[in-house]
Every structure is written in structure tokens, then in C-alpha cells.
Structure 1
Amino acid sequence: MRLGVIDIGSNTANLLIVDAHHGAKPLPAASHKAALRLSEHLADDGSVRADGVADLVDFVRQARHLAEEQGAEELLGFATSAIRESANGPAVLQALNDASGLDIQVLSGVDEARLTFLAARRWLGWSAGTLLLLDIGGGSLELGHGMDEGPDAAVSVPLGAGRVTRNLLPGDPPSPEVVREARKTIRATLAAEVRPIVRAGAADHAVGTSKTFRSLARLTGAAPSADGPYVRRVLNRDALGALVDRLARMPVSERVRQPGVSVERAPQVLAGALVAEAAMDLLRLDTLEICPWALREGVILRRLEHLAG
């Protein structure tokens, strides 16, 4: 069947259309995205402002129209931390559902971790053994650990690249003192939340998903996306430490000229690097393999399971 998924994140809204059936690899057929930057459309009380809601409504209408043009038999929708944590999240969700005729769901942070873990497991297979998953989004960091298709331990920590940039890294570039304090806060926050993952024990394979990890791997020498999804890409902790030092000295105008860094992600790449570095340090990971599948693929795989059942 042809299936469409709308993903409303903190940085971007995405539509992915795939041809898929249970037991087969989903094959991308079409995609569309918009850099809505919801975190920049928040009022002082934490609610999404009217202009942000209007942009979202426009996107879901466009996404539904495109999905229909592409022959999608079903269109799913989900939102993550930006809507989940906004003061007017239920009202925003209702506006989106009214405009699209869909039933867009808000995922919890643990749901995000579980679905992303499923996607990574399916991509890497059983031979990867026990998996440790890290995923940095705009609003949160998700972690999962387990030997099955679902993690035995799953954690969501409010350390997304957009959130950290907004709350902890003012300045362009931020001063060394600001970066030092941000690093301290990130590590204290993560250390307080990561205990379930640490207690789960050693993993056979550590993986990172999301655009942030892909960008960091590219910045440290991994193959470009043009080489395709089957090229093995890794992020090395030592190389990441050196990258953090470089990024901390760069204004956004210079970051955007680096390989693998888009205009939308340039303001947040330092925050993502600081979070990734802290997680790898605290979890004693020398290397992360980059997995091209993440949350959207996990949602698709779970839906196919339900249809088959």
C-alpha cells in the first residue's frame, strides 16, 4: 500500500510517502518539508502564537493535497515535543485536525524513543545484538536500550538542539563562559535522567539517529548523503570533542558553510554537538553508528504491523 506520514517536529514539519507492506522494506515515493521552527513562534506563556498555528495549518493542508495526488491510501500524522509541551497544545492540535480532516496524535517522549528504537532495530537487524539508541530532536533527546524490537529502557530528556540553543546558548557565537555553563547544565540534566539506560548494562551496538547526528557525523568526516543510505557512517567521540571546540568559535554565518549543515540547522548545530558529546561521555561510547531510519520509519513500521494483525 501507499502510506503517508506527517511529522510535526520542533524544527521542521515533514511529509513522507512510502510504498510498503508488512514484512517488506518501506520504499520512499515522495517527500515534502517546511522549516517552521515552532520554538521561535512561542509566546511568553509557552503557547504557539497565531502565526505559528497558521503556518502549521497551511502545511498540513498542503501535505494532505500532496498525499492525495501521490495516491496515498492512508495518511497518518503525529507531533512531538513542540506541541506536546506548548500551553495551547490541545487547541493547536484541534485546529490541525479540523483543517486536515486527520487524527494527528501527540507522541510522548517515551513513545518517540520506542518507535525510533524499532526503526533502528529493523534497519540494523538482529545481528547487531543489544542496541543503545540516541536520537537528538529539536526539543528532546531520546534514548533506548534493549535486545528486542522494543527497548527494555526508554528515556526522554529535555535536551533537544533547539531547546538548548534557545535556553542556554545566547550570542553569535556564544562566549566561552556561556558555552562552559551550557556544557555543565547539559551534563547535570542528562546525568539525572540517564540512570535507567546505565543500569540496563553494556550494549553490543550504539547508534545515533536524526538529522543532528547525521550532520555531526558529516562534519567529522562521514560520507555525504549523496552517497546513499547504505554507506556506513560513524561519529567518533574524540573527533566530536574537537568539533565542539571549532563550532563554539563560529558564528552562524560560518557554520552554514560547513559540509552537512543546512541553513535551518546552523543555529542549533553547536547545541546538538554539546548534547551528543555529553551523552557519549556519560555512556562511555567511543563510537556511534549513524542509522538512516528514525521516528517516521518507526511510525510506518508500527502501522504496518497493526494492519497485518
Structure 2
Amino acid sequence: MRLGVLDVGSNTVHLLVVDAHPGARPLPAHSHKAELRLAELLDGQGAIAPAGVERLIATVADAVRVAEDKGCEEMLPFATSAVREASNADAVLAQVKTETGIDLQVLTGEEEARLTFLAARRWFGWSAGKLLLLDIGGGSLEIAYGIDEEPDAAVSLPLGAGRLTAGWLPGDPPETDDVRTLRRHVRAQIARTVGEFTRFGRPDHVVATSKTFKQLARIAGAPGSGEGLYVQRFLGRAALEEWVPRLAAMSAGERAALPGVSEGRAPQLLAGALVAEGAMDLFGVDALEICPWALREGVILRRLDHLPEE
């Protein structure tokens, strides 16, 4: 069957169209995305402003038209931290449903972590052993650990690259004191959770998903997207530690000129690097592998698990 997965995230609204069947890997058929940056469209009370709601509705309606054009039999629409944490989330969700017919399901942070972990487990398989997963989104950082398809521990922290950039790094390039203050904040937040995971022992394999990790791995020397989906890509902590001060000294425009870094994501890359560096350091990770599958694939796989066998 052809499924459309509509991901309303903090940075983008992404429709992924896949051909999927129980027992088979989902095959991407089409990708449609729009940069909305919902996390930056909140007013002083933490609500999504009217202009932002209008843009969200228009973007969702456009995605629905694309899904229909591509022959999707079913839509799997979900929203993450930007909508989840908006003070007017219920009203926004109701308005989206009224005007587009799409009933966005808001995932909790823990659900995000668990579904992303499922995708990583299916990608790497049982031979990967105990997995530690890190995922940096626009609004939050997800961490999960386990040996099965359901993680033994899963948490979500408000350490997304977009959120931190907007709240902590106003300069371009940022002030040195602002970078140092954000670094302390990030590490204090992550340190509170480390014990929840280390009690299970050291992982056999550490993996990371998200655009932030992919871009950091790329600038640190990993193969580009043109090399294909199945090429292994790694990010080492030593290389990342060398890049953090370099990124801090760059403007957003200079970061956008780096290999694999998009103009839209460039302003957030430093904050994402500080989160990645802090997580790898505090969890004692020397290197991690980039996983091509993430939350959207986890949502697809969970849906397929509940389809009857033909």
C-alpha cells in the first residue's frame, strides 16, 4: 500500500510518500517538504501566532494535495514539540482538522524517542546488540537505549537546535559568553539523565539520526548524500570537538557554505553541535554511526506492524 507520512516538526513540514507492506522495508516514492519553523512563530505567551496558524494550515493543505496526487491510500499525520508545547495547541489542532481534514496526532517526547529507536533497531538489526540512540530535532533532543525493539529507557529534553538558537544565541556570529552559557546549560540538562541509561551498562553500538547529526558528520568528513543511502557514515567526538569553536566563530552565511549544510539549517548548526558534543562526552561516546531511518520511518513501521497479514 502507498502511505503518506506527514511530519509537522519544529523546523519543517515533511510529507514522505512510501510504498509499504508488512514484512518489507518501506520504499520511498516521493518527498515533499516546506520550511515553516513553527518554533520561531510563537508569541510572548507561547502560542502559535495567527499568521503561523494560517501558514501551517496552508502547508498541510498543500501536503494533502500532493499525497492525493501521488495516490496515497492512507495518511499518517503527526506533530512534535513545536505544536506539543504551544499554549494554544488544542485550538490549532482543531482548526487544522476543520480546514484540511487532517487530524494531527501529537506525539509525546517519549513516543518520539521510542519510535525513532524502533526505526534504528530495524535498520541495524539484532546484531547491533544494545543500542544507544541520539536524535537532535528543532525543538528537542531524544535519547533511547535498549536491546529489543522497545527501549529500556527513553527521554526527551528541550534541547532542540532551533529552540536553543532562538533562545540563547542571538548574535551572528554569537558572542563568546553566550556560547559558553549555552554549553553549560546543555551539559547540565543532559547530565541529569545520564544515570537513567548508564545503569543498563555500556551500549554495543551508538547511533544518531536527524539532519543536525548528518550535517555534522558531513563537515567532519563523512561521505555526502550522493554516495548513496547504504554507505556507512560516522561522527567522531574528537573531530566534533575541533569543529565546535570553528562553527562558533562563523556567521550563518559562512556555515551555509560548508559541505552538506543547508542555508535554512546553518543558523542552528552551532547549537546542534554543542548538544551533540555534550551528549557524546557525557555518555562517553568516542564515535557514533549515522542512521538513515528516523521518526518518520518509525511511524511507518509501527503502522505496518498493525496491518493484517495478506
* Shorter-chain TM-score range: over 0.9
- 1:181 alignment partner in structure 2: 181
Paired residues of 1:157 and 1:193 also in contact (CA < 8 A): no
- Measure the CA separation in 1 of the matches of 2:308 and 2:134: 29
Correspondence 1:211-230 to 2 at 5 A? 211-230=211-230
- 2:269 alignment partner in structure 1: 269
- Measure the CA separation in 2 of the matches of 1:166 and 1:201: 36
Q: Which runs of 5+ in 1 are unaligned?
A: none
Cα RMSD after superposing both structures? 0.9
Counterpart AA for 2:201: G
- 2:169 alignment partner in structure 1: 169
Shift of 1:194: 3.1
TM normalised by structure 2 equals: 0.98
Q: Which runs of 5+ in 2 are unaligned?
A: none
- Measure the CA separation in 2 of the matches of 1:26 and 1:87: 35
Shift of 1:39: 1.6
Correspondence 1:186-265 to 2 at 5 A? 186-265=186-265
- 1:296 alignment partner in structure 2: 296
Shift of 1:195: 2.4
- 1:156 alignment partner in structure 2: 156
Q: Is residue 31 from structure 1 mapped to residue 27 from structure 2 by the alignment?
A: no
- Measure the CA separation in 2 of the matches of 1:123 and 1:52: 35
Shift of 1:221: 0.3
Paired residues of 1:144 and 1:151 also in contact (CA < 8 A): yes
- 2:47 alignment partner in structure 1: 47
Correspondence 1:87-98 to 2 at 5 A? 87-98=87-98
Partner deviation per Cα, 1:163-186 (whole Å, 9 max, x = no partner): 111112121111111111111111
Counterpart AA for 1:203: P
- Measure the CA separation in 1 of the matches of 2:98 and 2:60: 10
Shift of 1:43: 0.3
Counterpart AA for 2:304: L
- Measure the CA separation in 1 of the matches of 2:94 and 2:227: 41
- Measure the CA separation in 2 of the matches of 1:82 and 1:32: 20
Shift of 1:103: 2.0
Counterpart AA for 1:161: A
Shift of 1:104: 1.3
Q: Which runs of 4+ in 1 moved over 2 A?
A: none
Counterpart AA for 1:87: S
SS in 2 for 1:151: coil
- Measure the CA separation in 1 of the matches of 2:17 and 2:299: 12
Counterpart AA for 1:90: D
- Measure the CA separation in 1 of the matches of 2:308 and 2:260: 38
- 1:58 alignment partner in structure 2: 58
- Measure the CA separation in 2 of the matches of 1:303 and 1:129: 24
- Measure the CA separation in 1 of the matches of 2:102 and 2:33: 18
Partner deviation per Cα, 1:195-252 (whole Å, 9 max, x = no partner): 2122222100000001110000001000111111100000000000011010000011
Counterpart AA for 2:19: D
Shift of 1:99: 2.1
- Measure the CA separation in 1 of the matches of 2:164 and 2:200: 27
Counterpart AA for 1:13: V
Shift of 1:308: 2.8
Paired residues of 1:143 and 1:197 also in contact (CA < 8 A): no
SS in 2 for 1:194: helix
Counterpart AA for 1:293: W
Correspondence 1:71-90 to 2 at 5 A? 71-90=71-90
- 1:127 alignment partner in structure 2: 127
Counterpart AA for 1:276: A
Shift of 1:107: 0.1
TM normalised by structure 1 equals: 0.98
Aligned pairs, number: 309
Shift of 1:59: 1.1
